[in-house]
Structure 1
């Protein structure tokens, strides 16, 4: 299945968070800067950030920006992995 640009960007930001390049409590770049870095429209970045918020990886403070939560949830397990009952 094809991946949307916002999904690719959300995945890239998640990788930065999980690797520690953006630490807990660390600020993400501004929407404008992220859009320029990834070569996409602001609305694409906003959609990627919404996905990260919904998954509990970041929080966005009005007029302040987006920050990594103190304790990000564990990464999703790839399909097929898990415990057998």
Structure 2
């Protein structure tokens, strides 16, 4: 089954989190920056971030951005 673009973006961000490239508590780039990095629309990034939030990998704080959750705490 083909992978949607949002799934690819979510998978790549998840790999960055798992590898420690983005550490616990670390901030993700802005939605606009992520869209530029992955060559997708901002709504695609928003969908990917929603998936990561639903799986408990990140949290999004209004007017602050998205951050990797601390798996230990």
After TM superposition, the score normalised by the length of structure 1 is 0.83
Q: 2:15 and 2:37 mapped to 1: Cα distance?
A: 16
Residue correspondence of structure 1 range 1-85 to structure 2 within 5 A: 1-71=1-71
Structure 2 residue ranges without an equivalent (≥5): none
Query: How many pairs align?
Result: 72
Q: 1:7 and 1:31 mapped to 2: Cα distance?
A: 15
After TM superposition, the score normalised by the length of structure 2 is 0.97
Report Cα offsets for 1:36-57 as digits up to 9, x if no partner: 0111100000000000000000
Report Cα offsets for 1:24-79 as digits up to 9, x if no partner: 0000000000000111100000000000000000000000000000117xxxxxxx
Q: Classify the secondary structure of the residue corresponding to 2:59.
A: strand
Structure 1 runs of 4+ with >2 Å offset = none
1:8, distance to aligned residue in structure 2 (A): 0.3
Structure number with higher helix proportion: 2
Structure 1 residue ranges without an equivalent (≥5): 73-85
Question: Which of structures 1 and 2 has the bigger CA Rg?
Answer: 1
